[in-house]
Structure 1
Amino acid sequence: MSNKQRLIYSLLIALGVLAIMLGFTRLQDTGVISEKTFQYIAIAVAVLVVVLNGIMRRKVKR
C-alpha cells in the first residue's frame, strides 16, 4: 500500500464515520436509541478507526 492509497482510504473511513455518527445522531434524536447506547457506539467506532489506521500504517511500503 502506498501513502496515496492510505490517504484515500483514510478519507473514505472519515466519510464513513461521519455518515455513521450522523445516522446514529438521528436515531438518538428520534428516541430509537438512548444517549448511553450512542456513547457506546461512538466509542466502538473510534476504537475501530484507530485499529484500522494502525493496520494501514503497517501496510505502507517505504
Structure 2
Amino acid sequence: MTNKQRLSYSILIALVVLGIMLGLSHLQNTGVITEKTFQYIAISVAVVVVIINGFMRRKVKP
C-alpha cells in the first residue's frame, strides 16, 4: 500500500464514520435508540477505526 492509497482509504473511512454518526444522531433524536446505546456504538466505531488505521499504517511500504 502506498501513502496515496492510505490517504484515499483514510478519507473514505472518515466519510463513512461521519455518515454513521449522523445516522446515529438522527436515530437518537427520533427516539429509536437511547443516549447510552448511542455512546456504546460511537465508542465501538472509534475503536474499529483506530484498529483499521493502525493496520493500514503497518502496510505502507517505504
Fold match, TM over 0.5?
yes
RMSD: 0.2
Paired positions, count = 62
**What amino acid does structure 2 have at the position aligned with 1:46?**
A
Runs (5+) with no aligned partner, structure 2: none
Unaligned runs of 5+ in 1: none
The residue number in structure 1 matching 2:12 is 12
Q: Match of 1:35, as an amino acid?
A: E
Identity %: 74
The answer as to 2:50 corresponding to 1:59 is no
| TM-score of the two chains, using structure 2 as the length reference | 0.99
Distance 1:49 1:36 in 2: 20
Aligned-partner Cα distance in 2 for 1:4–1:10: 10
In the TM superposition, what is the alpha-carbon distance from 1:6 to its structure 2 partner? 0.1
Moved over 6 A (4+): none
Q: Which amino acid aligns with 2:55?
A: I
